[in-house]
Amino acid sequence: MQNKHGLECPLNWDKLPSHYNWIALDANGEIYSYEYKPRILNDPHWRSVDFNFWFLGTTDPPADFTQCIWERPK
Average pLDDT, integer, range 52-63: 95
Does residue 4 sit within a domain?
Answer: no
φ and ψ of 13, to 5 deg: -65, -25
**How many other CB atoms are there within 10 angstroms of residue 53's CB atom?**
19
Does residue 47 sit within a domain?
Answer: yes
In this prediction, what percent of the chain has a pLDDT beyond 70?
100
Does residue 32 sit within a domain?
Answer: yes
The separation between CA 60 and the C-alpha centre of its own chain, rounded to angstroms, equals 14
User: How far is the C-alpha of 25 from the C-alpha of 45, rounded, in Å?
Assistant: 8
Q: Give residue 25's domain range.
A: 17-71
Counted domains in the chain = 1
Average pLDDT, integer, range 19-38: 96
Does residue 22 sit within a domain?
Answer: yes
The single-letter DSSP state of residue 11 is S
Average pLDDT, integer, range 14-42: 94
Does residue 34 sit within a domain?
Answer: yes
Q: pLDDT category, 41, cuts 50, 70, 90?
A: confident
Q: Radius of gyration over alpha carbons of the chain, in Å?
A: 11
